[in-house]
Amino acid sequence: MATNIPLTGSFKVTCEYKRKGTEWLAGWHTGIDLVGSDTIYATCDGIVVRIEKNDKSYGNFIVIEATDGRYHWFCHLARIDVNINQNVTRISKIGIMGDTGNTTGKHLHYEIRNASNKYADTVNPAEYMGITNKVGTYNSNDYQINEIVTQGELKTLARNTNLRSKPTTKSEATLYLENTTLYVLEKSVAEADGYTWDKVRIRVNGKEGYMINKNYK
């Protein structure tokens, strides 16, 4: 089980998304401020695309590009526990809450930017998390989702490879090019034609099928 919430157990929203104020360049709060358990989890399946230390505003922060193309920002961290280009899922521990950068105390500033990844081009992170966009106390146990169970391991094709409708080279084929990313849903589902086959889902279009298991990197 997993959630879209970066904290576990009981936590507080101390400043909601879109609160107006001159302390923000945009004139409003572009993320949501959370206080709770120290360990921060990824809120999406994706790739770590940016890590910064000691930024004047955001302190130590991580940016994850989610599989839907949005960018999730985790700011003011005390510690960063991931590396650049690392694949993460909702159960990945990515860092420890802190008070680095421009803050009045220990908290997580969590923000979701659109595909543009521009400042102030954001979506409502409370809505994504499933909670009300209001100061208050919440419990992540009330917002569990099931998606992670079938998500699988993120892989990249090392060469052009056919997605097959069945785990055999005699079945219907669709060619996918090198560097296509996919999830391995089930490993070694069959041995056929001298190969071991995995059940996979292509990340960009959600198509499911079978691939020979030695073509990933």
Q: Given the complex with Zn ion, which of 75 and 154 has the nearer CB atom?
A: 75
| DSSP state letter for 125 | H
Does 33 help bind Zn ion (rule: CB under 5 A)?
Answer: yes
Does 109 help bind Zn ion (rule: CB under 5 A)?
Answer: yes
Q: Which stretch binds Zn ion (CB under 5 A): 34-42, 105-113, 172-180, 186-194?
A: 105-113
| DSSP state letter for 21 | -
Length reported for the chain:
217
Select the residue whose beta carbon is closest to Zn ion and give its number.
109
Q: Given the complex with Zn ion, which of 33 and 45 has the nearer CB atom?
A: 33
Q: Are 35 and 6 in contact (CB under 8 A)?
A: no
- Residues pairing with 209 in the sheet: 200
Does 199 help bind Zn ion (rule: CB under 5 A)?
Answer: no
Does 90 help bind Zn ion (rule: CB under 5 A)?
Answer: no
Does 65 help bind Zn ion (rule: CB under 5 A)?
Answer: no
Q: Which stretch binds Zn ion (CB under 5 A): 4-12, 33-41, 132-140, 167-175?
A: 33-41
User: Residue 137 CB: number of other CB atoms within 10 A?
Assistant: 10
Main-chain dihedrals φ then ψ at residue 194, nearest 5 degrees: 85, 10
Rounded to whole angstroms, the Cα distance separating 35 from 136 reads: 10
The separation between the first and the last C-alpha atoms of the chain, rounded to the nearest angstrom, is 28
Q: Given the complex with Zn ion, which of 76 and 199 has the nearer CB atom?
A: 76
Q: Given the complex with Zn ion, which of 46 and 59 has the nearer CB atom?
A: 59
Judged by the rule CB under 5 A, the positions of this chain that interact with Zn ion are 31, 33, 109
